C-alpha cells in the first residue's frame, strides 16, 4: 500500500526560524514595539499576516489594510535577503537520510509549509527534486492549526489520511496533522508537542524510530 510522508519546512528540514526572528524583530523595533525570542516561538507555523497582527497588537496604533500589507512586504524583503545565503549545508541532520529512505521505499514525499517562500528555500537547499508535491501556502486560506494544508497534500497524492505521516516542529502544526487524522511526528520539546504521536528531539532517528515502524 502506498504511504506518504508530509514534511513541514521551517524547523524540520532547515532552521529558518532564526531568520524570521531577525526580520520580524527589525520591523517591530522600527515601529517602537518589543519583539523577543519568546514572541518568535509563538509565531512558529503562523502565517505572515497573522504574525504581523500579533506584533501590531503590542502597540495601540491602528493600521489600514494597505499599511499592513506594506509592513508585511517590508518584513518579507528582509527575510528573503537573509535566506539568500542558505546552502545545502543548512539541511538539518537526519533529513537527507530520511528523504533517501523514503525514495528507496517508494513513499510519496510532500511539503506542507505555511511559508510562501518554501519553493525558494527548497531550491537553495537543492532538494526541490526530492518532493513529489509542494503545497502552495498562498492558495490555502486556512492556516495551521487547521488541517487544510496537510489534507491538500494527501488529496494531491490520492491517499487517505490513514496512509499519511506528518512531521512538524510547531504545536500549531502538530494540531493541524491530528485534525487531518494523520500520524504526527513532532520534532522538538515533548511538553510543547504533547499532541504528537511520537516526539524526537531532532530529525535524527526519523528513519529508525518513525518511518520504519509506520
Give the residue among 94, 45, 52 at the shortest CA–CA distance from 69: 52
Q: Grid coordinates in use for 90?
A: 543548512
For residues 68-87, which are near ligand G16 according to CB under 6 A?
Answer: 76
90 is catalytic: no
Q: Using CB under 6 A, which of 14, 115, 161, 163 touches ligand G16? A: 115
For residues 159-178, which are near ligand G16 according to CB under 6 A?
Answer: 170
Q: Per-residue b/e over 27-50, b at no fewer than 16 CB within 10 Å?
A: bbeeeebebeeebbeebbbbbbee
Q: Using CB under 6 A, which of 6, 27, 28, 43 touches ligand G16? A: 43
Spatial contact of 170 and 8, defined as CB atoms under 8 Å apart: yes
Q: Using CB under 5 A, which of 169, 178, 182, 199 touches Mg ion? A: 169
Q: Is the dihedral of CA 133, 166, 146, 179 positive or negative?
A: positive
Q: Which stretch binds ligand G16 (CB under 6 A): 45-53, 54-62, 127-135, 201-209?
A: 45-53
3 is annotated as contributing to ligand binding:
no
38 is catalytic: no
- State the residues that interact with Mg ion by CB under 5 A: 8, 10-11, 45, 169-170
Amino acid at each position: 500500500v502506498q504511504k506518504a510522508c508530509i514534511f513541514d519546512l521551517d524547523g524540520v528540514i532547515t532552521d529558518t526560524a532564526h531568520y524570521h526572528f531577525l526580520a520580524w524583530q527589525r520591523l517591530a523595533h522600527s515601529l517602537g514595539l518589543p519583539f523577543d525570542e519568546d514572541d518568535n516561538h509563538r509565531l512558529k507555523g503562523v502565517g505572515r499576516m497573522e504574525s504581523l497582527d500579533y506584533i501590531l497588537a503590542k502597540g495601540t496604533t491602528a493600521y489600514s489594510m494597505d499599511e499592513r500589507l506594506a509592513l508585511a512586504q517590508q518584513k518579507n524583503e528582509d527575510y528573503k535577503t537573509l535566506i539568500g545565503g542558505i546552502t545545502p549545508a543548512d539541511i538539518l541532520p537526519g533529513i537527507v537520510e530520511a528523504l533517501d529512505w523514503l525514495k528507496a521505499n517508494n513513499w510519496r514525499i510532500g511539503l506542507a509549509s505555511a511559508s510562501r517562500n518554501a519553493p525558494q528555500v527548497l531550491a537553495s537547499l537543492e532538494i526541490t527534486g526530492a518532493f513529489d508535491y509542494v503545497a502552495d501556502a498562498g492558495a490555502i486560506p486556512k492556516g495551521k492549526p487547521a488541517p487544510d494544508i496537510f489534507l491538500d497534500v494527501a488529496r494531491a497524492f490520492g491517499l487517505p489520511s490513514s496512509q499519511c505521516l506528518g512531521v512538524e516542529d510547531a504545536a500549531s502544526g502538530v494540531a493541524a496533522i491530528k485534525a487531518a487524522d494523520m500520524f504526527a511526528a513532532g520534532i522538538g520539546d515533548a511538553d510543547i508537542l504533547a499532541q504528537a504521536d511520537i516526539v524526537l528531539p531532532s530529525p535524527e532517528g526519523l528513519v529508525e524510530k518513525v518511518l520504519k515502524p509506520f
